[in-house]
Amino acid sequence: MSNRTLAIMMGAVALLIVAVAVVFILVLSGGDDDDSSSVPAGTSEASSGPEDSGNRSEDRNNASPSVSGICAENRIIVPGDSPATVFDPIQVGDASTAEYTAEIFGGLVSLDLDLNIVPDIAEDWEVSDGGRVYTFFLRDDVVFHNGRRVTADDVKYSFERAADPANFSPTVLDYLGDIVGVRDKFNGVADQVSGVEVIDEYTLRIELDRPVSYFLHQLTYTVAYVVDREQIEQDPDGWTRNPNGTGPFRLKVWRPLEEIILIPNDRYHLGPPKLDEVKFSLGGGSLLTRFENDEIHVAGVPGIELAGVLTGESPLSEFYRPVPQLSIFYIGMNVNEPPFDDPLVRQAFALASNREAINEVLFYDALIVADGILPPTLPGYSADVTSYGYDPDRAGELLSRSRYAGNMPRIILTYSGTAGDSPDRLQALQQQWEDALGVEVEIEAIEWSAYLRELRRGTFQMYAAGWIADYPDPENFLGKLFASDSRLNHTGYSNEQVDALLEQAATLQDQDARYRLYHKAEQIIVDDAPIIPTFWTIGHYLVRDCVQNWPDVGTIVPKYRYIEIDASRE
């Protein structure tokens, strides 16, 4: 995840600059909509298990019954986005689904709130053979939500299932493809993943085809989560409606377009959550109004309100929490389709994009104009990397030298959205390109799931997109989006020098040396202009005082088990 989600720059972002509006642009397969049960399709009402009958943690921070309002109960209500697919970890390719999946499932390792790699199902590991072999020692107290104990066989099954070509995982090769045998199984030339070996009930060995410096980071992504083989084999079509994961929360309710409710897994091996419930509100309406009306605990600051909040003139200032995101918005251009197969055309479009004006006028300076690809808060970021600045005269000159001068084909910019007026920031770019280049660009909306499907197929000529870090490493941006062999490289960009730099950086253990290679690759990519970096994002949050331990983290990690409600602070 991709990744764990970014939402492409959807229309909602123009009105609300918050982290939850950002979703991963990853390939995604559609889920099974068939439901012959009495529960409406797409709705999950998790049945009560043993832990619901008096087995709740006794030390929960229950709010005082004398307190009224939203802080009176030991639950949190936050805005959420509808998942783009079912809750199957190997299919997740967007941040909305990843946020829920990260709470329901778990893997060998995880990221903590400081984005450090920490033990999860594995309590320890050893690295040998020059970084090619990882031996994981599993905890013996990890159970699925139904109480069945997790063993090394469950982990191996989960990797085998992810690599099974019949399951069409869109992310397995990009996140687990370094494991010996994953590609063979995915390509149908092997029956199993030979590089994943069960040593005993609680020991697992994984062999890589070469040392990979970010391998543990990749294991934090959803495609490496552990699933319950028994549940899947018993109910292959419906198991995702009530997934039996190992994470800190269980899925209780999923009502499409209405709400998703998670309840604690009181047998969670890293300690039970403090909350009794997490409710994600999927409905529409103004989040600011709902926050002011005591209906939700967390909201985003609309751009028009941001100046007052920042200066302290707004009564909302006391709730304000800025969180820089490890994410970027951009315009992608298909380098294999006219006219963007000519680098001069791509560079001209980049030079004709006045991102500073859009940020100031439309977003009230709520974003950061992206002067590269890697976000400033990402380890390995370099301020020396620079993108094309606004220069309409040079843009026109480059276009006149291109092979499409005077013979420009029809250009369509696609974004995820519904019919109606296109987002203001895309209309602004549309006008800027026409003014500077004399080129008319059509803007076309497409439904989110269909957008992801066509993005994977590479059918878009030009598209509005975004990316949020799955893990804090430059490879997650540069390798995933621009390596020639990456299935997430949706622009079709290919540069031998970039590929060589990325491959060299992948195997180095010296971080400073790795970062220098990534800086070189990033500058080449920016100069070649397969994308126009537009903005780095900041989550401008409003968080109620009673919400304790709300994490200031710039990407998706399991976080709700740390949060608690303290009614005395409301």
> What is the model's pLDDT at position 145?
98
For β-strands 122-128 and 117-119, DSSP reports them as unpaired
| Cα diameter, the chain | 75
Give the pLDDT mean for 41-61. Answer: 37
Q: Residue 50 pLDDT more than 90?
A: no
| Distance in angstroms (rounded) separating the CA atoms of residues 43 and 429 | 40
pLDDT tens for each residue of 183-241: 999 999 999 999 999 999 999 999 999 999 999 999 999 999 999 999 999 999 999 99
Give the pLDDT mean for 530-540. Answer: 96
> What is the model's pLDDT at position 33?
31
291 token code pair: 């926050």
> What is the model's pLDDT at position 222?
97
> What is the model's pLDDT at position 85?
83
- Per-position DSSP letters for 307-373, written without gaps between them: HHHHHT-STTGGGEEEEEEEEEEEEEE-TTSTTTTSHHHHHHHHHT--HHHHHHHTSTT-SEE-SSS
Q: Give the residue from 452, 365, 360 showing the smallest Cα distance to 415.
A: 452
Q: How many CB atoms lie within 10 A of CB 483?
A: 22
| Distance in angstroms (rounded) separating the CA atoms of residues 401 and 342 | 10
Instruction: Measure the N-to-C terminal CA separation of the chain; round to a whole number of Å.
Output: 35
**φ, ψ (nearest 5 deg) of residue 547:** -85, 105
**Residue whose structure tokens are 């045998």:** 181
Structurally, at CATH architecture level, domain 324-538 sits in Roll (3.10)
Dihedral angle computed from the Cα positions of residues 34, 38, 41 and 46, in that order, rounded to the nearest 10 degrees: -110
Whether the Cβ atoms of residue 142 and residue 247 lie closer than 8 Å to each other: no
Q: Give the residue from 233, 249, 223 showing the smallest Cα distance to 29.
A: 223
Round the average pLDDT of the chain to a whole number and report it: 88
Query: With the C-alpha atoms ordered 256, 262, 142, 83, is the resulting torsion angle positive or negative?
Result: positive
What does the angle CA 27 – CA 492 – CA 87 come to, to the nearest 5 degrees?
Answer: 5
Q: How many CA atoms lie within 13 A of 462 on its CB side?
A: 24
pLDDT tens for each residue of 440-458: 999 999 998 899 889 999 9
Q: Residue 371 pLDDT more than 90?
A: yes
What does the angle CA 191 – CA 192 – CA 198 come to, to the nearest 5 degrees?
Answer: 150
| Distance in angstroms (rounded) separating the CA atoms of residues 284 and 305 | 19
Q: Residue 25 pLDDT more than 50?
A: no
- Per-position DSSP letters for 251-298, written without gaps between them: EEEEETTTEEEEEE-TT-TT---S-SEEEEE---S-HHHHHHTTS-SE
Q: Residue 53 pLDDT more than 50?
A: no
> What is the model's pLDDT at position 437?
98
> What is the model's pLDDT at position 420?
66
| Distance in angstroms (rounded) separating the CA atoms of residues 126 and 66 | 52
pLDDT tens for each residue of 269-312: 999 999 999 999 998 788 999 999 999 999 999 888 999 999 99
Q: Residue 29 pLDDT more than 70?
A: no
495 token code pair: 């540069």
Q: Residue 60 pLDDT more than 80?
A: no
**Residue whose structure tokens are 């199993």:** 192
| Distance in angstroms (rounded) separating the CA atoms of residues 327 and 370 | 10
* Domain spans of the chain, in order of start: 11-264, 324-538
Contacts 24+ apart (CB under 8 A), 480-485: 480/2, 480/3, 480/174, 481/373, 481/531, 482/521, 482/525, 482/530
Give the pLDDT mean for 456-468. Answer: 95
322 token code pair: 């800025």
7 token code pair: 């939402």
Fold: same for 11-264 and 324-538: no
> What is the model's pLDDT at position 12?
32
**φ, ψ (nearest 5 deg) of residue 124:** -165, 170
pLDDT tens for each residue of 111-139: 999 999 999 999 999 999 999 999 999 99
CATH entry, 11-264, from 2.30.110.10, 3.40.50.300, 3.40.605.10, 3.90.76.10: 3.90.76.10
> What is the model's pLDDT at position 4?
35
| Distance in angstroms (rounded) separating the CA atoms of residues 570 and 565 | 9
> What is the model's pLDDT at position 69?
87
**φ, ψ (nearest 5 deg) of residue 25:** -95, 85
54 CB contacts (<8 Å, ≥6 apart)? none
Q: Give the residue from 494, 469, 465, 466 showing the smallest Cα distance to 381.
A: 469
> What is the model's pLDDT at position 431?
98
- Per-position DSSP letters for 164-183, written without gaps between them: -GGG--SSHHHHHTTBTTHH
Whether the Cβ atoms of residue 336 and residue 555 lie closer than 8 Å to each other: no
**Residue whose structure tokens are 């399951």:** 167
Helix boundaries (H) for 177-264:
182-186, 215-218, 229-234
pLDDT tens for each residue of 243-267: 999 999 999 999 998 999 999 999 9
Q: Give the residue from 100, 154, 98 showing the smallest Cα distance to 122.
A: 154
Whether the Cβ atoms of residue 36 and residue 499 lie closer than 8 Å to each other: no
> What is the model's pLDDT at position 324?
94
Q: Residue 22 pLDDT more than 50?
A: no
pLDDT band at 1 (very low <50, low <70, confident <90, very high): very low
Q: How many CB atoms lie within 10 A of CB 308?
A: 14
pLDDT band at 419 (very low <50, low <70, confident <90, very high): low
Question: Is this model's pTM higher than 0.75 or not?
Answer: yes
Q: Residue 497 pLDDT more than 60?
A: yes
Whether the Cβ atoms of residue 71 and residue 565 lie closer than 8 Å to each other: yes
